[in-house]
Structure 1
Amino acid sequence: MNRTVFVNGEYLPETEAKISIFDRGFLMADAVYEVTSVLDSKLIDFDGHALRLKRSLDELQMAEPCTKEELLEIHRKLVEKNGIEEGLVYLQVTRGSDGDRDFVFPPADTKPTLVLFTQNKPGLADSPAARKGAKVISIDDIRWGRRDIKTTQLLYPSLGKMMAKAAGCDDAWMIEDGHVTEGTSNNAYFVKGGKIVTRPLSNEILHGITRKAVLRMAAEAQMEVEERLFTIDEAKEADEAFTTSASAFVMPVIEIDGVQLGDGSPGPIAKRLREIYLDESRKAAI
């Protein structure tokens, strides 16, 4: 594969893409990112991702690299140039490079680095993993306190994924002060007696774009939703569970810490929400 990628105003073959070794994203994870799904060669919930990107940049006092309209054009061109029908567009903005390493921010007029690339994911919507359901383990949440900012500080979530793989599972749910925060790359939910329970928004979790859409669609479908703190033991006693993310949409969870949920297959509410989300998102895609 030789994808066309975007780096600081240029569309380039991936083999020719370069950034400075002094870029603060490389040296300090001083960067934010977004991942937008592509279905039928169209972007899913682009406006939501663009709005969250601006919030992340503002929270870190980082300059916007371009306008929302320019970002949309870049996304569309990359989808076209790489022939993406189902897949992802990854976007990353860093504070840029001042030509050396320093803990102090570079001058305010330092140009931010903007990088985008695509990932081709045939069958993204009709995922075998979603039909089977995911198994998760619980781990301590030792991340920094501003998880609402979508930064590239992803070492611990990566380690969490590997802990799950070592345990023969698919993902990990993180626990802080006795309560579930979220998955390594997704928001977490359980269902009991027909009620969907998920943690409320705060600095402790990512304000998921897919989360927002799914909760809205659940309400429109007359499903009961409760946003509150919950323990891993509550989740283990649930009828079913699931996660949401831009790259996996609604993913049913069938096992937590070795405890089977329901009959061990994806639950009806998770399956229905996935159907609704995919249908409505395709209609609204741009």
Structure 2
Amino acid sequence: MNSYIAIDWGSTNLRAWYYHDGVCQQARRSESGITRLNGRTPAEVFHAVTEGWPVDDLPVIMAGMVGSNAGWMNAPYLPCPVSLEDIASHLTRVEQRGWIVPGLSIHAEDNVNVMRGEETQLLGAARLLPASCYVMPGTHCKWVSEAQRQIVSFRTLMTGELHHLLLNHALIGTGLPEQVADADAFRQGLETGVHDRSILRRLFEVRAAHVLGVRPRESVSEFLSGLLIGHEVALMAETFVEEKTAPLTLIAGPALAERYLQAMALCGLPAQRLDSDRAFQHGIRSIANELDY
């Protein structure tokens, strides 16, 4: 299926692409994520973002929080372990306007987890840069284990959200000036996070350091980012990654990828980077190819 419409509909934003004969004709972006509908229904936002596109003539495939219990329609989770090939055969039809990709879930004694949207990136990544472990940074970073084209397990780390909360709603960020890029501060935080697993005792020191003039007040965000990412990668390298000699696949945009690649190098994890948009687009295309439309 070379002609279709793809929509990545998350909590805070929405992106849509119209493909004809395998070529992207137009891309659109909206801030009307599922948590930012501003009184409109998902159907109304859908009509607005696809205005002028042939939605009645082409398959429309949507992924992300649009399929959550707060979204347009609840698309059931597929429990792991699950074959990647099973994803395309479990789409949920919504108001004759398209299909929603299912999320994935885990319900084990030591791990209860869900994902939505990332499964589509995984579908693309498994074809473009296959690996036994995939890492998808973001507000909630996903670490995923794959074996023989099955998603075996995954973990979620709230690194991005924790950074935002600490900087904007905690004492750490109170009274700070505008933050600036500071590669040295990030690197210092990274090394601290990688080598010291007692992150709780380190967090207050982030504030103490700038109060005492040990660290510039404008660089607190960068140090904190390094501290949290370093801790995350070191923890997962020790507890989640089984094969540490084969490269894992990092699915991310340029900015986050660079930060995680630095952390992975410090932890001795070889990695290959795949752009997140490319992974998503390839995943959606593979689903479109399976549709009997």
TM-score tier (shorter): under 0.3
Tell me the TM-score normalised to structure 2 length. Answer: 0.26
Larger Rg: 2
Q: Counting strand residues as a fraction of each chain, which structure ranks higher? A: 1
Structure 1 or 2: more helix by fraction: 2
TM-score by length of 1: 0.26
